[in-house]
Amino acid sequence: MHLQLADVRKSFGDNSVLRGVSFDVGPGEVVALVGENGAGKSTLTRVISGAHQPDSGRLLIDGTATVFKDPQAAMAQGIEVIYQEFQQNLFPHLSVAENMYVLDRERAFGRLFVSKQRMAAEARQALRRLGMEIDVHRQVSELSVAERQMLEIAKAMTHELRLIILDEPTAALDEQESEQLFAQVNRLREAGVSVIYISHRLDEVFALSDRIVVLRDGRVTLDTPTERLTPAEVVTAMVGDAVDDFYPKERNARDEVVLEVRGGGGARFHDIDLQVRAGEVVGIGGVVGCGRSDLLRALFGLQPLTGGSVRVDGSGVRVESVQDAIGSRIAYLSPDRQAEGLCTGQSVEANVSLASLRAFSSGIGVVRRGKERAATGAVISELRVRAASPSVAVSSLSGGNQQKALFAKWVMTRPRVLLMDEPTRGVDVGAKTEIYRIINQLTADGVAVLLVSSDLPELVAMSDRVVVMREGRLVAELTGDDLDEQSILKHALVGAA
């Protein structure tokens, strides 16, 4: 398939996401699509796959202008997408063969009542075309992550595949599993299938792709054969050279160490040695799947910390549960405030006091409501949470005020350590400024902050220093003149500056 995009534009309300995107991918060609989070890659994928329709511009297949009204129309033309959350498309308690045809039996075999023997034979043949030998009678729940991903690709191959989009396909894979995936990509190329490979990992991009296309702020900033490029040139195309003075960072770091992690290990991170001083913001740079979010979750007791030690203010602490973490004066802002931060059906006041109820309780567990209201009211006012009253549902607030309410919840616990994962995601510019002010206020009070952010200008501007994670390990520490977006990306993507 020869797919061409010509001046494709897409907006959501006042937010212009794709701003005249033009590039193509030919038969048997692997085109890497790279860019920072928010550059427009996901929206472009959904336009190509029929999940979104462009506001203007054209999609051409083999020279013919095409409009896909839905993903089924794109699939009918041989276009498939394997999303990063690929396992959502699988049924874990069905067999491999059943998963391959569960939604498409009539098309595959021309009838509703399907011979299990024929289904198994077809599934086995499809898997062998990808060099896979898997028992097609096994339940999907018994497969490894890599095997499940290969199963998704094999499913796509049953639809007379002509173009496949792979979205961060190695994010959940180890090195050996990634090598298996690369072999499948090369088989697809040899079979004449067009491949769009979305990844933050430049070593993979340079090893696999024929051409690299970079998106920045919804525009194509680079479209060049891979052999003519260097990683540094790709990084520059991704982030540009601009320096943003928007961030009101205050330098409040002191000498005393508040948080110390030694030899920290978990499911997706290893041998983490890290110190954060009082009043210091330590940013953690890295790409999707590098383990930085897992590290924060483990330090808050949401995931197992399988090795190493944690100290707060010099004392060893256990973080086997959220209760342990809160008791050790560790607070955590989740990247998904709706799912893990706020009780959206409850009032602002109830949300703000939720983690501190013990402080307002009598000896027999009765909450002193007057004391609770006075304390929550003071924090709501201090952090400028704008609500008609503390009794209104937190769901009625804007995204920025919901996030400030989440900050207020943790300020109430008087934390010594604050773990923040994407603290300004989904809020407007004005709310971001207020969140930065809150961070400054907390560090002025001596709170030690670990910051994960996909917004590289934010990460650089609001951090006193940045450590970079790659494949679950700390690979660099950047400070002073060495701390910039390009350096973070170089270490995160290719392992060296």
Pairing of strands 194-198, 163-167: parallel
Predicted local distance difference test score (pLDDT) of residue 242: 44
Predicted local distance difference test score (pLDDT) of residue 9: 97
pLDDT of 321 above 90: yes
Predicted local distance difference test score (pLDDT) of residue 266: 94
Predicted local distance difference test score (pLDDT) of residue 109: 47
pLDDT of 108 above 50: no
pLDDT of 105 above 50: no
pLDDT of 382 above 70: yes
Q: Token pair 């004005």 is at which residue?
A: 430
Position 85 confidence tier, pLDDT thresholds 50, 70, 90: low
Q: What is the mean pLDDT of residues 318-328?
A: 94
Q: Which amino acid is present at 272?
A: I
Q: How far is CA 61 from CA 65, 66, 204, 213, 371, in A?
A: 6, 7, 27, 19, 67
Beta-bridge partners for 118: none
CB 216 within 8 A of CB 41: no
List the domains of the chain with CATH numbers: 3-239 (3.40.50.300), 242-329+415-497 (3.40.50.300), 341-414 (no CATH)
Pairing of strands 219-225, 211-216: antiparallel
Least confident window among 38-52, 229-243, 296-310, 339-353: 229-243
Predicted local distance difference test score (pLDDT) of residue 496: 45
Q: Which amino acid is present at 490?
A: K
pLDDT of 267 above 90: no
Reported as a single tens digit per residue, the pLDDT across 438-489 is 999 999 999 999 999 988 889 999 999 999 999 999 999 999 999 999 999 9
pLDDT of 408 above 60: yes
CB 447 within 8 A of CB 279: yes
Q: Which amino acid is present at 154?
A: A
Q: How many CB atoms lie within 10 A of CB 62?
A: 12
Check: pTM over 0.85? Answer yes or no.
Answer: no
pLDDT of 211 above 80: yes
CB 90 within 8 A of CB 151: yes
Give the 3-state secondary structure of residue 19: strand
Q: Which amino acid is present at 160?
A: E
Position 317 confidence tier, pLDDT thresholds 50, 70, 90: very high
Higher pLDDT among residues 354 and 163, named by residue: 163
Position 114 confidence tier, pLDDT thresholds 50, 70, 90: low
- Phi, psi (deg, nearest 5) at residue 299: -65, -20
Predicted local distance difference test score (pLDDT) of residue 449: 98
Give the 3-state secondary structure of residue 438: helix
pLDDT of 359 above 80: no
Both tokens of 408, joined, read 């207020």
| 181: CB partners within 8 A, 6+ apart | 146, 149, 150, 169, 170, 173
Reported as a single tens digit per residue, the pLDDT across 12-28 is 887 789 999 999 999 99
Position 162 confidence tier, pLDDT thresholds 50, 70, 90: very high
Give the 3-state secondary structure of residue 29: coil
> DSSP for 335-398?
S-IIIII--TTSBHHHHHHGGGGGGGB-TTS-B-HHHHHHHHHHHHHHTT---S-TTSBGGGS-
Predicted local distance difference test score (pLDDT) of residue 429: 62
| 352: CB partners within 8 A, 6+ apart | 376, 379, 380, 385, 390, 405, 408, 409, 412
Least confident window among 36-40, 189-193, 304-308, 395-399: 36-40
Cα–Cα–Cα angle for 36, 304, 298, nearest 5°? Answer: 45
Q: What is the mean pLDDT of residues 295-300?
A: 96
Cα R_g (the chain), whole angstroms: 25
Q: What is the b/e burial string over 448-461, where b = at least 16 CB atoms within 10 angstroms of the residue's CB?
A: bbbbbbbbbbbbbb
Q: What is the b/e burial string over 144-162, where b = at least 16 CB atoms within 10 angstroms of the residue's CB?
A: eebbbbbbbbbbbbbbebb
358, with CB counted inside 10 A (0-12, 13-18, 19+), is: exposed
Predicted local distance difference test score (pLDDT) of residue 244: 45
CB 261 within 8 A of CB 309: yes
- Percent share of the chain, pLDDT over 90: 53
CB 281 within 8 A of CB 439: yes
Predicted local distance difference test score (pLDDT) of residue 159: 72
- Percent share of the chain, pLDDT over 70: 91
Q: What is the mean pLDDT of residues 306-326?
A: 95
